[in-house]
Amino acid sequence: MTVATDEARETVNHSALSLLRQTENLLVSAKLCATWIQTCMLNYANKGDVGLVSEGEQAAYLVLINKVLQQASLQGVMLYTLARPSLQPEVNRLSKVTEEQINNFAQRIRQSGLPVTVSL
């Protein structure tokens, strides 16, 4: 999972997969096998409204995680940021988040009871 809202996910991933369908797929996976969620936290065009930087995106992500946890178990979250230049056309608009930003968000996710690994 990259971003929690449909608009932000379409902006970053160009994905037509709705949040509802993405959640359904995650639930199927979590019910069938041990599932870790890989989540990239990034800045998009130095705007805080996408890429899990804004409070709104983080809150939406946490709501989604808690919704899934009510129906299935998850192994944890692998939280990371950009490690090298993207191959997406938007490469000039994408940048990594700070260590403080990613660690603060990791702590918020841990409050749900899930283990979180962080990779810078």
User: What was the pLDDT predicted at 2?
Assistant: 40
User: What was the pLDDT predicted at 8?
Assistant: 58
| pTM (two decimals) | 0.83
- Point out which residues pair with 79 in neighbouring strands: 39, 118
User: What was the pLDDT predicted at 14?
Assistant: 64
d(Cα 99, Cα 105) in Å, to the nearest integer? 10
Q: Report pLDDT digits (tens) over 25-54.
A: 999 999 999 999 999 888 877 555 555 678
Where the chain has pLDDT below 70, the residues are: 1-15, 46-52
User: What was the pLDDT predicted at 17?
Assistant: 78
Question: What does 38-97 look like in DSSP terms, one character per residue?
Answer: EEE-EEETTBTTSTT-SHHHHHHHHHHHHHHHTTS---EEEEE---S---STTGGGEEEP
What spatial distance separates the first Cα and last Cα of the chain, rounded to whole Å? 17
